[in-house]
Every structure is written in C-alpha cells, then in structure tokens.
Structure 1
Amino acid sequence: MDLELVEQILPHCSKTQLIHIEKSTKDRDLSPVTDKLWKTFYEKEFGIESTESVSEIMKEWNLKFKWSDLYQEKSKRVKGASKKESDGKLSRQVRVSKNQVPPLSRSNKGKWLKKKFGGAKHSSCGKRKKVMSLEYARFEGVHYVKALEPF
C-alpha cells in the first residue's frame, strides 16, 4: 500500500485497531504514520504535561522511542497503580462471615452487641416472617456482616 493512502486511513482507527494493524504489518514499518497517532492517544489519555515531559526527556537525552511503546508502558503502569488502589479498597469492603453467633434474648442482645462490636446496631425485620438479620462488626478496618436466622 502507498504510505499516503495509509496516512488517510489510519487516523480513523481506534487504539485496538491500530495495534492490530501494526502487529499484522511487522514486515513494514508504519511508525512514521502511526507515531503521530500514538502521540495524540498518549496526550488524550495522560495529559499534555505528561506528553511534554516525555518529549523533553527524549530531546535532552537524545533518545528516540516509538509513541506506541511509550503509550503501552504508561498504560501498564497506570493499570498497575489503579489495581493496587482497588485492592486496598477491597480490603476495606464489607465481607460476609460464616461464623455462627449464639442466639440472644431480647434483654441482653443490645448489651452483647455493644460489648462485642463496639456499639454496632442489630437490625431485624418482622417478628414471624423469615427475614435475615444482620449484625455489623468492625475488625482491623474491615466491616464484617454476620448473617443470622430470624429469632
């Protein structure tokens, strides 16, 4: 294919399509055309400041990288950082505990909850209906939910 024709077609491609085209044309270097496109993708995704700082570093150290490689590496780093962040959030989420709690009479239920869970409230709905009761506890920054049978 003529390089001028490729220059007209490739700007209409998405990132995944561009990756597929580059992989399928390994015998031909399309980086003169795709480099501009990857730079715009990089700028849209990570900001103008980041793009400019990478450009300055490349000029300062007299380095030449393909923007597609830079984009893919930066994406991996951002995904890795967001994965660590989401893992931290998961550790603070509510978890269901399968441990059994002994049945309590209505008179000492509130005292036991305050003593055991530091003032957490017990919520149960209905008297004769089969409704699940929940008790909330906080251990080491994690909220645990204990599912109980109705009393």
Structure 2
Amino acid sequence: MTTYATPADVRDRWLSTSALPADDVIQLWLDDAETLILAEYPKLTDQLTDDPDGTWHTRVVYVEVQLVSTALRNPEAVRQASRTAGVFTESTTYGTETLAQSMELTPAHRAMLSGGAKKHTGFDMTAKPNRAVHPLDHAWVNGPPGTAPGEGV
C-alpha cells in the first residue's frame, strides 16, 4: 500500500534515542495509520485529490507520522522498570492498555483532519460553590463598588 507519509518522514522526525525498526516495518505501521485515518474520514481521499497547495497532504503526513511515532516509542509497552545491584533485583511492569491504544486519533488530530481549527480544550470539572445566592447578590445598592452613596450617579 502506498501511503502519504514515508518511512523517511518518520525517521526525519524521530526524537528518541532508541533505534527505529527497518523501513518495511515502519511502512506496515504507516499502512495501519492510514487505514485508521481513512476509516474515520473516508471523504479525505476526495480532498487529497483536489489539493493544489498540498495542505491536506501535509496534514495527513503529519498525523500519520504522529501515530506511528507514538506506537513505536515504547513497543514493549514497559510502564515501569527498576533494577538494583544490591541483592540483584530486577522488575518490569508492562502496561497492556498501552498496546491496545498505541494508535489512536486525538482530538487535535481529528480537528486537523476535519478541517476545523478548533482544538479540544476540555471541560470545567471543578465544583461550583455550594452557597445560597440572594436575588440581590450582584445589585448595586449605593452605586458601583468603591463609591460613596450618591457618588457616581
């Protein structure tokens, strides 16, 4: 399968000190990333064919490289590793959820692929103050705050 991103794109943007696998393995991951993208955005192929300035091509390459880099950053899914030399202790904890979610479109990726400029900012989950509100709580009885009665009228 020919993808928009190439293994060279992944190698050019790689930041980790660990070595990347061979190009054919990277290409398989790119195939998976493109399959994921086109399954969620099937009309993207139409936008890519009519893309004179290359904006959509750049966006797809960016998202594909991001997905593959995230998946290849920790291929063993090691969550925690500890080694001690005293009594020869070695412990490794594997995170299975890391493997299951190794390639997932983020809200920023979805906004980029849908053409929207809005990014997911989240929800305000802080608790509201639990106090009784008087109907005249914000009323100006004697004018704006900080003024004397009769002043500022």
Please give the TM-score of this superposition, normalised by the length of structure 1: 0.31
Q: Quick check: which one's strand share is greater?
A: 1
Q: Quick check: which one's helix share is greater?
A: 1
Higher relative contact order (CA 8 A, sep 6+): 2
Structure 1 or 2, whichever has the larger Rg, is 1
